[in-house]
Amino acid sequence: MTSLITGSPGILLIGPYDPHCGEYTFLAPPLGVWRLVGVLAAAGVRAKVFDPNCCTGPPQRALERELLQGAWDVIGVSTTGMTLSFDLELAHLARRMAPGALLLAGGMEATFRPELMFELGPFDLVVLGEDVYKRQAGAPRLHRIECALHDARAVFGADDLAHAAAGAGGGAQVSGWPHERA
């Protein structure tokens, strides 16, 4: 939950999961996830990366341990088309282990197929890395990320999400489909 020390939310970002040891990811670190954590941390937000391809033991057990160790207000799952089924497995695990957390989908697959994330995953929000919908929608601003917690699903631009979580620049901009939670 929100840190009493910093007053900021606890954010855990999960990289794409490739159980085939590089067949789909070329063993590259999840650079987008690391970039977001860097931006958030620089703004004073408590944020951490969980890389399922670089952990001790089975990634599912390692994620369970991570979720039990920290109080996470926001959990983001980075997705790719090649790793989507494995990413969704971790997203469903995160929802079961942290039912009160705001669960985000991000990454390439979420950016290009946001509606699919809502159909297949337990996500509350989709983060668009390309900000394509933000420029087209002109939707109203949210002043805090918590505004999205109540029964609505929405789509955010990645830079807007970082600013909203850090409390900078007036918050995030909703960009697209508000969906009722199933």
Nearest alpha-carbon partner for 106 in 72, 83, 137, 138: 83
Most confident among 9-13, 135-139, 171-175 (mean pLDDT): 9-13
Task: Indicate whether 170 belongs to any domain.
Answer: yes
Task: Indicate whether 101 belongs to any domain.
Answer: yes
Task: Indicate whether 5 belongs to any domain.
Answer: no
Tens of pLDDT, residue by residue over 25-49, are 666 778 888 888 888 888 888 899 9
pLDDT of residue 12: 95
| Helix (H/G/I), strand (E/B), else coil: 4 | coil
Strands (E) across 1-53 are located at: 10-14, 46-50
Q: How many residues does the chain have?
A: 182
- At residue 151, φ and ψ (nearest 5 deg) are 60, 5
Measured CA to CA in angstroms, residue 89 lies from 19, 26, 52, 94, 171 at distances of 12, 20, 11, 9, 30
Q: Tell me: pLDDT of 55 over 70.
A: yes
Residue range 56-73: mean pLDDT, rounded? 93
Task: Indicate whether 90 belongs to any domain.
Answer: yes
Measured CA to CA in angstroms, residue 8 lies from 44, 45, 138 at distances of 7, 5, 27
Domain of residue 33, CATH code: 3.40.50.280
- More confident of the two residues 157 and 53: 53
Task: Indicate whether 55 belongs to any domain.
Answer: yes
CB neighbour list of residue 154: distance below 8 Å, 6 or more residues apart: 125, 126, 148, 174, 175, 176, 177, 178, 179
Task: Indicate whether 2 belongs to any domain.
Answer: no
User: Helix and strand tally (H, E) in the chain?
Assistant: 7, 9
* Chain mean pLDDT for the chain: 73
Residue range 82-88: mean pLDDT, rounded? 94
pLDDT of residue 19: 85
Question: 13 with 47: CB under 8 angstroms?
Answer: yes
Task: Indicate whether 83 belongs to any domain.
Answer: yes
pLDDT of residue 7: 60
Q: Tell me: pLDDT of 130 over 60.
A: no
* Burial track 10-43 (b if 16+ CB lie within 10 A, e otherwise): bbbbbbbbbeeeeebbeeeebebbeebbebbeee
Task: Indicate whether 4 belongs to any domain.
Answer: no
Q: How many domains does the chain have?
A: 1
pLDDT interval class at 159 (50, 70, 90): low
Q: What is the pTM of this model?
A: 0.72
pLDDT of residue 160: 56
Residue numbers of the domain that contains 83: 10-180
Residue range 68-95: mean pLDDT, rounded? 94
Q: Tell me: pLDDT of 80 over 60.
A: yes
pLDDT of residue 126: 87
Give strand pairing partners of 179. Answer: 153
* Lowest-confidence segment of 7-11, 92-96, 98-102, 167-171 by average pLDDT: 167-171
